[in-house]
Amino acid sequence: MNTQAVLDYLQQLQAKIVEAIELVDGKHFLQDSWQRPEGGGGNSCLLEEGLVFERAGVGFSHVLGHKLPPSASAAHPEAAGRPWEAMGVSLVFHPRNPYIPTVHMNVRFFVAKAQASHEEDIWWFGGGMDLTPYYGFADDAAHFHRTNKQALDAFDVGYYPAFKKECDDYFYLKHRKEPRGIGGIFFDDFNALGFEKSFAMQRAVGDSFLNAYLPIVQARKDTAYGERERDFQAYRRGRYVEFNLVYDRGTLFGLQSNGRTESILLSMPPIVKWRYDWKPEANSAEAKLYSDFLIAKDWLATA
């Protein structure tokens, strides 16, 4: 198991994505390297008040600890109490134009270290990406899902439908009874292919992100919008905040493991609104998001 190779890849992936987004936006990311007292550190890259992105965060972290926190050991009771090592790249982009969807991507690797000669390290990969539109376009959803499927098909044609379902199930606000967006793929606790092939699959997912998202940005970034669209965008961003603070495993793990708060909350949108019992006008573009996009759907069938 080559942990250093995973570490090197993740740092290169962060740099590659940051460079690509700077070219699209025209503004540079703030680079904020940090160290964690308990062990490890990371680099948080943040772009605020850009021309295309109102807030974009790309975080790399490599942290170590002496005992798994509840958010991790719940799924792995056999690893409880073990020293651990976690590394990953996580990003969230909040565009300025409401016709560009918000996007999230995460790829990570976790090891619970053996403590005795008869034990083995317990390791797994996780990650995925999902799209959260404010004004939906079937072509965008189909492109995003098609790119995800192409990344996974080389490993097993069954992975895309399985990971799509995991994504739909995971990014769901139970208290609202609605999905966060139009999904994508999500996998966790993955080691089914052995280390080398599992790592190759994670790389395929990470490397496909720019191809999945940037064509959508280019297609929508010059679409005209007004205060109505911005207002709806701010309202829908509230769902993003609710999910991240109530359900998101990465957020919970970071806070429970005494992570760096500024980096953990890098995903928060800059402007958000909540309204009491608000509903969109019937037959409006805003209503269409709920009726046509925030539903379980085979997006590849719409292509």
- CB-CB contact of 3 with 52 (8 Å): no
Return the half-sphere exposure (C-beta side, CA atoms, 13 A cut-off) of residue 37: 3
- CB-CB contact of 33 with 8 (8 Å): no
**Is residue 104 annotated as a catalytic residue, yes or no?**
yes
Q: What share of the chain is helix, strand, coil (3-state, %, to 5)?
A: 45, 25, 30
H-run or E-run covering 21: helix 3-25
Q: Which residue out of 104, 118, 145, 175 is catalytically annotated?
A: 104
CA Rg value for the chain: 19
CA distances from 130 to 37, 167, 180, 239 (A): 32, 8, 9, 14
Catalytic positions, written as ranges: 104
